[in-house]
Structure 1
């Protein structure tokens, strides 16, 4: 059976309100809660809140950009959450994008593949509890000693392209995916498993987390305007645009990027076709959503990370989001497929 996670905070809800829903999700049988950081909450703070109030949830970040925090600080935050949660924390690292790193954070998004690898190596050294020094080509750390007990914190890597998938298999404890279709997921994971094999690792011990936007009993016609705006914001970023191309949506990706570059925002959003929406968004009746989620599990996803969405506004919004969270909890037994014995992760 796959693990089932809730992505928090939930768009359109108050910060604390979202975290309270994560506690309710735990009571419903969810195994995980994963925070994220873009331009709202940081990724660590909501997990500290949940660490103090939850009992069984695995708490992950999907993900922290490697360019916005030095390895020593990442180790400090990770060790803190590890000890607060009784060992339930998972650190997710990724390269993010030039818009976030360069424009918003004032950093430099350069040599992302190398920076991710070096950050993983340096963070693991720092988490050992021994005095640690690291010299790489993109970062350094001199004579750092963690002031907390050492911690064995799993580190998963976010991946969009083949090289990062391969690196995640080689050095990560799992891979974190987003905007992958069920049909394309097996092909995307080939590089992940190849990286694991080349490093002499057992792929069955590694996690595959897919963040999935889910709307149960919602009408696609109602969701379409919101989703077109949302997907255009990502699909015009080169790395995400390339991901869409690799999954068979080259025409949509080209139309979206060309229109955006010309300043034709409406045309860029119109390039998000219903075919693309149906491939990327889990939407429909409970039975239809269960079938779609089952497709991701059959494709190799081991942790379904649900980001509930709705077209509802006002007082109805929370009720609709709660409906999706509860409906997915009820259907989780039906989305399990016979993939053989699944070892406990971590």
Structure 2
């Protein structure tokens, strides 16, 4: 199981300089990948293109960019431009986001998410492979080609949790990038569903890039209390709530990978045995715990 890190969003006029330092440090520390979320701060693809340019030897990914606000041709053009800047080290993670964001904030119809994603991929995937797209569906259409001078295809992962979306990810994408999903859910639901779909479609075994809050500490109770506060909102979003119920936990604090070095190592081993191909650590504690967590993750990445 490869080990990567989720980069924290940076603020201030020098946000991109700080992010560039974070990317370089992640590469120097030996992590296989570094990821950034697309929320309401800097644009993830633009930020990675700027911050990751000239930092070799590390995969850079989005986890994830919402699809609804960007036509798939626009997404493909931006992703291919970012991949060009990063010399082919970009992995494009995309997802539906949530009804509260797409309908209440952006004003788009969130009524047919599976149909939307399936049709979105019908335009996006050919363009990411350097081919022309010609598709007319029920939710979108695209007849276009791009001239960005990439070498090779930009890989795509879906933020897939439900069985139908996991099936789609296995059939058409390179895997899934779940957040707030524990080992029981991966072992019993995500891994078998997506692998069966990929096998039936004659595709390679899919990646399962699992991101979770992580803290190596001597005070796990305090860390879980902080996780409960920091990640509280995810316990109320329907898609994540369904995964927590499937896992049998009360909330995000129960999913956080927390404890001393031995406890966290055991949790990572459990995730690997469940089928996780890439573990992405999201640090959330300050001070000494942050540095202790980083030291542990460096050693885990080197194994």
TM-score (normalised: structure 1): 0.80
**After TM superposition, what 4+ stretches of structure 1 lie above 6 angstroms from structure 2?**
11-14
CA separation in 2, counterparts of 1:224 and 1:320? 13
For residue 169 of structure 2, what is the aligned residue in structure 1? 168
Is 1:8 matched up with 2:7? yes
Match of 1:277 among 253, 261, 276: 253
Aligned counterpart, 2:290: 321
Shift of the alpha carbon at 1:124? 1.8
Match of 1:299 in 2: 274
Corresponding residue SS for 1:53: coil
Q: What secondary structure is seen at the aligned counterpart in 1 of 2:202?
A: coil
The separation in 1 between residues aligned to 2:204 and 2:188, in whole angstroms, is: 19
What whole-Å deviation, never above 9, does each CA across 1:142-169 have from its counterpart, x for those lacking one? 3x22131254111111112111111111
**Which residue of structure 2 lines up, in the alignment, with residue 110 of structure 1?**
111
2:20–2:52 contact (8 Å) kept in structure 1: no
Report deviation, 1:123: 1.0
CA contact (8 A) 2:187 2:274 kept: yes
1:222: Cα distance to partner? 2.1
Match of 2:198 in 1: 196
Tell me which moved more, 19-28 or 282-291.
19-28
Aligned to 2:91: 90
Larger radius of gyration: 1
RMSD of aligned alpha carbons: 2.2
Does the C-alpha gap of structure 1 residues 71 and 12 become closer, same or farther in structure 2, counting only changes over 3 Å?
closer
**How far apart are the structure 2 equivalents of 1:242 and 1:131?**
38
Cα pair 1:93 1:157 within 8 Å, conserved: yes
1:128 deviation in Å? Answer: 4.2
1:22 partnered with 2:43: no
Q: Residue in 1 aligned with 2:141?
A: 140
Would you say 1:330 and 2:299 are equivalent positions? Answer: yes
Between 1:223-232 and 1:69-78, the stretch displaced more is: 223-232
Whether the aligned pair in 1 keeps the contact of 2:10 and 2:18 (CA below 8 Å) is: no
1:119 corresponding residue in structure 2: 120
**5+ unaligned residues in a row in structure 1: which ranges?**
253-271, 335-346
Contact 1:290 1:332 in 2 (8 A): no
Aligned residues: 299
> Is 1:289 matched up with 2:264?
yes
Secondary structure of the 2:184 match is coil
Distance 1:90 1:246 in 2: 28
Q: 1:12 to 1:235 in 2, by over 3 A?
A: farther
145 and 184 in structure 1: CA distance in 2 versus 1, 3 angstrom threshold: closer
Whether the aligned pair in 2 keeps the contact of 1:63 and 1:94 (CA below 8 Å) is: yes
Displacement of 1:131: 4.2
